[in-house]
Every structure is written in structure tokens, then in C-alpha cells.
Structure 1
Amino acid sequence: MSRSLLICLALLATGPASLRAAEPLQELGLAQAEALWLAHNREVRLAREGVQAAQADSLTAAQVPNPQFSLSTSSINPRSGIGAGSLGQKRVDSVLRLDQVIERGDKRELRQQVAGAALEAAGQGLAEVQRQSRFQLRVTYWDLRLAQERRQVAEESGELYRRSVKAAEMRLKVGDVAGADVSRLRIEAGRAENEARAAQADLERARQSLAYLIGKESEAASLRAAEPWPRSEGEVVTARRPELENRADVLAARARVKAAEAARELARAARSRDVTVGVQFEHFPPGDASPNNTYGVSLSVPLFLRHAYEGEIARAEAELLAARTQEEQVRALALGEVAQAESLLGAARERRQRLEDGLLAEAERVASASEYAYGRGALGLLDLLDARRTLRAVRLDAAILRAEYAKALAAWQAVLGQ
């Protein structure tokens, strides 16, 4: 009876509630994991919210200063009071004033340029976060796949030793095997049990790591990586290197340079004096020799007597230099990442093929022959234990090399932006 059928029968026997509890994410393919990551990953969500904040900054940058309205009264005599009658008959001076700041030096346009470049950088930053986080997801997924295989190898080895101990104890009763050999088998069985427990702990950690990335921490215990190892044969690593100019991190760095350039021009534009224009209406109390109602206008400009924004301009210049240096750094790191990913992928594929082309099959053949010979008394216990250790080590090496190749392939795909 297949494992899948046994699972289905067990679920049906325990009722609908148990069926609902076991349903989520029992078998998780890589594509399904990436879909959950894209929908629930917190780092990606934070980057999206950063883009929304940059969009709001663009709206703010396009705003012009609001006019300012003021109402004031003066000439209030505390002895005689404000007098009787309507508001217009009171013995007070009333002033209604409206002021408007007129920006000069293209400040609004420069603010929009800064905000637009910052929005572009935030968008490319989101793409870069997705690129790196997707790579982390794939690495974590293959780590889970490796942990599953390590646990499987450890459990199978432990089961084999348990059967061997039982068989040896039966043979000991009839004097067919030495007591020292039974003790050796028990020691090996205990070591295999410890390895199985360690492998189970590694598996739980791998599940928790993947569950965090896909936002399913409460279902971590049910996660199982079902994607087969990527095949190495027939896959040719292209010699063409990706266009670095189109990488998200390079585009984001370039956008930050544009924003810094616009910010420098905006700092310089602060030397263009903004003009504040005001108009007012003034109402005088009745009985005054002058007319009751008068109008006025005003014009004010700042005087650069203490400073002329030298500090702001110097800081903007320094930030521009830093942005350009960061762009150079990002380009250099991207170029090194391409070379490193290509080298690691080629080396990982060669090591995997070397193992799978003969070493694994040879170790399995030797172990099978040793089991057969030992069962018929033609092979000593030490030779059998050596064959078992060799097979276990080769199987673990095979799983590790497959995982290394899968992660190297994920790194190369991340370099390509896939």
C-alpha cells in the first residue's frame, strides 16, 4: 500500500476536523512557496509600503505654499471700552490680511524632480528586495529539502541497525555470534539514533526558517518540500553575462544619484529669495478724521545677512558624492556577484555529476554485497560496519551536493533576475 493511500485512510478515520488540520501546505512545491512568499513575506511588504510612502512624497513635493489669512484688532482702550453698537461701530481698529509666499528659483520643479527620482529608487529598491528575498527563499527551501533527506538517511540507518541488533541477539542465544559483535552493533545503533534525533532537530529549524519567509509560522510543522532536485544534465550555463545596467540594484543606485543631483540644485535654489506678497483691509473706528476703510499691500524678502545656505549646499554636495560612490560600489559588487555565481554553479555541477556518475551506485552495490555476505557468515562485522558507514556518508554527500547545486543555481538565477 502506498504512503499516500495510508495518509488518506488515516485522515478519513480521524474525521473532518483532522482532515482540515492536515490540509495546509503538506506538500509544498517551489512555485507554491514562491507564491506564498510574494503574498506574505514581511520584507517584501515593507518595501511595497516604502514605495507608497515615496508616492506620497511626490504629492507633497508638488504642493505650493498655502496662503495665510490673519485677523487682528488694535486700539482697544481699557478705560472707555470698545463702545456700543454693531461690530462696525466699535471703537477698535480691525485688520484683515492675506499673505502668499511666491517661490522663486524653480524650487517646486526641483522638489518634484527629487521626489520623482526617490520614487524611482524606491520602486527599484522593491525589485531588489524581491530579488534578494526570492534567492533567500530558494536557498531556505533547498535547505529544507536537504534536511528531509538527511533525516530519511538517518532513520533508515537507525532502522537497519535496530534490525541487525535483534538478529544478532537471536544468533547470540544459539552461540552463532560473539557477544562483542552484538555490543558493537548496539553502539552503532545508539549512534544512529543520535544522528536521527539531530537530523530531526535540523529539520524543525529548516521548517521554521521557511515558514517565516512565507508567513506561515503556525503551520511550520506540516511543511514538506516536495520539489525534486533540479537536474544538472543538459543544463548549460550561458556564457553571456546579464546586462548589469538593467539590474534592480544598479537602477536604484542610479536613481539615487539623480535624486541627489536634484537635491543639490534645490539646495542651491534656496539662494533665490522667495517673495511674500500681502494685501490687507483695515477698518478704523467711526469719528476718526481719516476714512473708515483703507487698503494696503506689502512685499517682504529675506536678507542673507547671517548665512546664505552654505551648510545646506555643502551637505547636498557631499550626499551627491556619496550617491555616486555608492553607484560605483553597487556596479562593482554586481560584477563580482556574476563571476562568483557562474564559478560556483559550474563547480557544484561538476562535483554532483562526479558523485552521481558512479560513486553512489558503487557504494550501494558494495553495501548490498556486504549485507549479503555477512548474513551468510562470509564477512566480518567490522567490514559490514565499514560498508554501512561508507554508504551512509556517500548518501549524505549526494544530498549535500544536490543541495549545493540547487542553491548555486538559485544564486545564478538571482544574478539574472529570474
Structure 2
Amino acid sequence: MLPTAAAALLLGLGAPALAQAPAALPPAAAPASPLLPLPPGPTGSLPLPLGKGTQVVTLAQAEQQLIDRNLAVIAARRGVDAARANRLVASALPPPQISIGNTFAQFNETRGGSIQGARFFSPTSNIAAGIQVLIERGNKRTLRTRLAEDQIGVAEAQVLDAVRIQLFTLRQAFLGALLARANLEVALGNRMSLDRTEALLRRQLRDGAIPEGDLLRFQASRLPFEVDVPNNAQAYAAGVAAVATLLSADPAAFQPGAGQLDAMGIRPAMPAGLAPPPATIRGTPAAPTGTPSGPASAPTTVQTILSPVAFDLRGRFDAVPQLGIGREELAQAIESRADVVAAQRQVSAANSNRLLAEASRSRDVTVNGSWGRSRLSQDLPFATAPLSANDAFAIQLSIPIFTNRIVEGNVGVATAQAGQAEAQARAARLQARADFAAAWAAYEQARALLTLYTGGALNRAEEAFRSTEAAYLAGGRTLLDVLDALRTLNATRVQANQARYAYLLALAQLEQATGVSGIAPRL
């Protein structure tokens, strides 16, 4: 192979494949090379084949929408509404009861057992009315109100805890989607460069400069790069669907036309079969332009690379924000984490409930007042003043008895529940500290790994590729050696993306574990 052809081939192979290097490298980064140009822009900015009108969503926008639309957060807010309504019930006095009725029939009995003077009354001839009032003792109303207010505090803390958990879940899904997007950008860049290199080899095969075996070996070697495209596209679509679900949006609501990008030659085929036959000429499969008919003419690229998605998630995945707060300050902030606060408030509510149960030892008194009017029978003996009706007033007091076992049982239940709440509060605090310990360890390891990749691993992989291509130009290496160096460089870039993802996720996990806002990355 002529040196000029080799240089042109490597120029097509190396340039786009390395277009997804990190946007910010340390000062020790390798100088620019005609075969290794500097990256054109930040990771996460490459346009993807999306449908028209697809909404672009950043992490900040998604977080705001989550607070307003997330169903778990909305359900927690409804719990606060229920607790506040329950306070109205708890602070009210026991309602009095009014009763009214009448005697609709009357008859008289003689000493001999006979019945005389049987008659029926209309409602106005015989009526009885009464009122019943429960008088609570032991300050029960105040204790009920205190318990209801404690439960409001618990519900409010649970809302904050729901926001904390759902925000972390959103950030995890969003960062996972950005990771898939960054890897997809690397895969698309690799495929574009491999397509150009394959076109060069096809022309050289047509001109007789190389044997067909060289092209076949190249085509076989590019398959791992090709598999990365649909895998990362599927991971990105899955991440978008997870984000849409957290935002209470329909993950399957998308615009038609997604998955097409003519500039990249991406034109999805109809899903009629797994392997549609190529176009034929007189019954014989047509070979690509410049390639003789044969195994080398078979397709080497996937066509459908991205399913329709509800959103297009954007963010500076290559950003490396600093923590900005020390370990001791974070450890002290654990006491204010929402679930720890909710558990402590649950202890207060349980103690209020125990006091309310103990107040039942003071028996309540029920007061009944009544008035009745009954018309007298007209066949009664005559008196000096003729009588028409009899009016009667009455008052009754009632006190429950034999309640000691019930009251003491309720007190025992409430005391045990208070002990449970206290144990659960201690467990919540210990779990929060365990979460912080794990999150801090993950942060330190992720930071060290990210420093490794951005500080030297990527540079070494690029230098290895340079040396391999230089040896190939000098005739000391084969094309497959160059492809192997490109695979190593591609794997290093993907692993660097994974290190960025781990670092950004570790920051989000630290905020979730400590409850300190502002730690999670702002992309």
C-alpha cells in the first residue's frame, strides 16, 4: 500500500473516532495532531436523530417539574392535607346529641287485668325531647389537638423525604441517560470514521491496490464498534422513559419521524423482518458502489439506531463540579435529614398518643336532659281545675364503670407504640449515617478514578494510538493493529464516561444521604 493511501486511510479512521474526547483535559494533555484533532465541543451536545418538536429538558428543568408533577410527592402532599383536616376534628368538642319522639298509643289496665281507654295519639298530643352532652375530663381535647399537630409535622417531613428520594431517583435516571448519550456519541463518531475508512478500502479493492481479504478482515473487526450503537441508543431511550415516568409524563408520547438523521445515513427500515434482503439487480444482490459482488458487499452498519423518545435530555456530562463542603459538616447535617426528622416527630406523636391514653383514666360524664308532654285521658276523674296535659322535666348523669382493664390495655398499647417509634427513630438515624458513610466512600473512590482517567489514562490511550498509526505508516504494523489500538482507545473513552457518571452520581448520592441541598451536580 502506498504511504499516501495509508495516511489518507488513517486520517479517515482516526479523526472522527476521537471526536468525543473530554472537553476539559488537564494541562498535561497531548498536543494537537493532524490525525487526532481536538474535540469540537462538550460531551452531550451532539444532535441526535429525534422527532420534530421533541422537548429538550435539562436537569434543572426536570427537577422543577418533578416537584410540581411527581405522583409520589403529590401523594405525600395529600397526606399533609389529611393531617390538617384531622386537626379540625381533634380540636372540636364532642358534639351534643338531640333526641325527639312521641308516644303514639296508650291504654289503661284495671286491677282485674282488663284493658280500658285504649287510644292513639297524634305527634302533637304526646311528645318527648332531650339533649345529651359528653363532658370530657382529663384534658383530653388538648391532648388530641397536640397529637394531631404532631401528625401534621410528621406528614410535612414525609413530603420533604419524598422529594429527597424522588430527586435522587430522577438524578440517577438522568445521569444514566446522559451516560448512554455520551457513549452513543462515541459510538456514532466511531461509526462515521469506520464508514469513511471502509469506503477508502472499497475503492482500493476496486483499483486492485489491496486484496479482498483485507476488506473482509476490516469489516469483521468493526462489528464490536457497530454493536455499541444500538446498545447505547436503547440505554438512552430507557433512561428517557424513566425520567418521563418520574415527571408524570407519558413515556410513549413522542413525535413521529424520530430515529432518522440523513447526514449520518441513518434511515430506519420498516420493522417487517430482522434482516430484510438487499436490493437486487436481475435476481442478484446489488453490491455497494465500488465493491465487487461477494461477501464484502454485505451490509456492515445497523440502520435503526434510536427509538422515539418523549424528551431529549441535555447536560454537560463532562463537567466536574467540586464538592465544596467538608466531611464533618456533612456528618453533622444528617440529623436534619427529612426521614430522620420524620422519625423524631413520630416519637413525639407517639408520646402524645400515650398521654391521651393515660387521660382515659379520668372517666367522662354524660349529661342527659329531657322534657316530655302527654295529654291526659279525658275520662279521668274531674278535679277543681280540669287538666289537659302532663309536662315532665328530667336530668340524668351517667358514668362508665368497669373500664380499668380497657384503659390500662390502651395505655399499654400506646406505651409500646411509643417505644417502637423511639427504636425506629434510632434505626433511621443509624441508617442515615450508614448511607452517608457509603456515599462518602463512593465519592472518594469516584473522584480518584475520575482523576486517573482525566489525568493520564486518556492521554496514554491516545499516545498508544499515535504510536501504532506511526508504526503502520512506516510499514511495521498492520491495519488490524490500528483497529486494536482504536478499540483500546474507545474502551478508555467509554470507561472515562463511566467514571464521570460515577462521580456525578456520587455527588447526588451525598445530597440524598445527608439532606444538604446544593451538592448534586448542576449540569
Q: Quick check: 332-341 or 302-311, which moved more? A: 302-311
CA shift for structure 1 position 136: 1.5
Q: Cα deviation per residue 1:316-351 (whole Å; 9 max; x = unaligned)?
A: 122111101100001111112222222211211111
Match of 1:77 in 2: 106
Structure 1 unaligned residues grouped into runs of 5+: 12-17
CA distance in 1, matches of 2:338, 2:147: 19
Counterparts of 1:230-241 in structure 2, within 5 Å, are 231-232=319-320, 235-240=323-328, 241=331
> Looking at CA atoms only, which structure, 1 or 2, has the larger radius of gyration?
2
Q: Is the 8 A contact 1:161 1:188 kept in 2?
A: no
Match of 2:197 in 1: 164
Distance 1:169 1:378, change over 3 A: farther
TM normalised by structure 1 equals 0.87
Match of 1:207 in 2: 240
Q: Is the 8 A contact 1:278 1:297 kept in 2?
A: yes
Match of 1:304 in 2: 402
CA shift for structure 1 position 225: 2.8
| Aligned match for 1:351, one of 449, 462, 465 | 449
CA shift for structure 1 position 205: 0.3
Q: Is the 8 A contact 2:244 2:310 kept in 1?
A: no
Counterparts of 1:172-183 in structure 2, within 5 Å, are 172-183=205-216
| Aligned match for 1:226, one of 294, 302, 314 | 314
Counterparts of 1:100-139 in structure 2, within 5 Å, are 100-139=133-172
Structure 1 SS opposite 2:315: coil
CA shift for structure 1 position 196: 0.8
Q: Quick check: 139-148 or 373-382, which moved more? A: 373-382
CA distance in 1, matches of 2:319, 2:405: 68
Structure 1 SS opposite 2:312: coil
CA distance in 1, matches of 2:403, 2:141: 25
Q: Is the 8 A contact 2:361 2:404 kept in 1?
A: no
Q: Partner letter of residue 293 of structure 1?
A: D
Structure 2 SS opposite 1:292: strand
Q: Is the 8 A contact 1:360 1:395 kept in 2?
A: yes
Q: Partner letter of residue 98 of structure 2?
A: F
Structure 2 SS opposite 1:74: coil
CA distance in 2, matches of 1:233, 1:34: 18
CA distance in 2, matches of 1:154, 1:237: 37
Match of 2:417 in 1: 319
CA distance in 2, matches of 1:270, 1:44: 37
Q: Is the 8 A contact 1:131 1:417 kept in 2?
A: no
Q: Is the 8 A contact 2:182 2:317 kept in 1?
A: no
Question: Which structure has the highest helix share of the two?
Answer: 1
Structure 1 SS opposite 2:241: helix
Q: How many residues matched?
A: 398
CA distance in 2, matches of 1:40, 1:374: 57
Distance 1:61 1:82, change over 3 A: same
Q: Partner letter of residue 25 of structure 1?
A: Q
| Aligned match for 2:350, one of 246, 260, 270 | 260
CA distance in 2, matches of 1:222, 1:261: 49
CA distance in 2, matches of 1:82, 1:292: 17
CA distance in 1, matches of 2:340, 2:451: 35
CA distance in 2, matches of 1:127, 1:298: 51
CA distance in 2, matches of 1:350, 1:57: 52
CA distance in 1, matches of 2:429, 2:203: 69
Q: Partner letter of residue 77 of structure 1?
A: Q
Match of 2:359 in 1: 269
Q: Is the 8 A contact 1:364 1:391 kept in 2?
A: yes
CA distance in 2, matches of 1:168, 1:376: 19
Q: Quick check: 120-129 or 309-318, which moved more? A: 309-318
- RMSD between superposed Cα atoms in Å: 2.8
Q: Is the 8 A contact 2:190 2:225 kept in 1?
A: yes
TM normalised by structure 2 equals 0.70
Structure 1 SS opposite 2:106: coil
Q: Is the 8 A contact 1:161 1:185 kept in 2?
A: no
Q: Partner letter of residue 40 of structure 1?
A: R
CA distance in 2, matches of 1:265, 1:75: 48
Q: Cα deviation per residue 1:35-68 (whole Å; 9 max; x = unaligned)?
A: 1111111111111111111111111111111111
Distance 1:364 1:230, change over 3 A: closer
Q: Cα deviation per residue 1:9-32 (whole Å; 9 max; x = unaligned)?
A: x99xxxxxx9xx61x632x22211
CA distance in 1, matches of 2:505, 2:361: 55
CA shift for structure 1 position 411: 1.2
Tell me, yes or no, if structure 1 residue 47 matches structure 2 residue 76.
yes
| Aligned match for 1:38, one of 67, 71, 81 | 67
Q: Is the 8 A contact 2:350 2:418 kept in 1?
A: yes
Q: Is the 8 A contact 1:242 1:416 kept in 2?
A: no
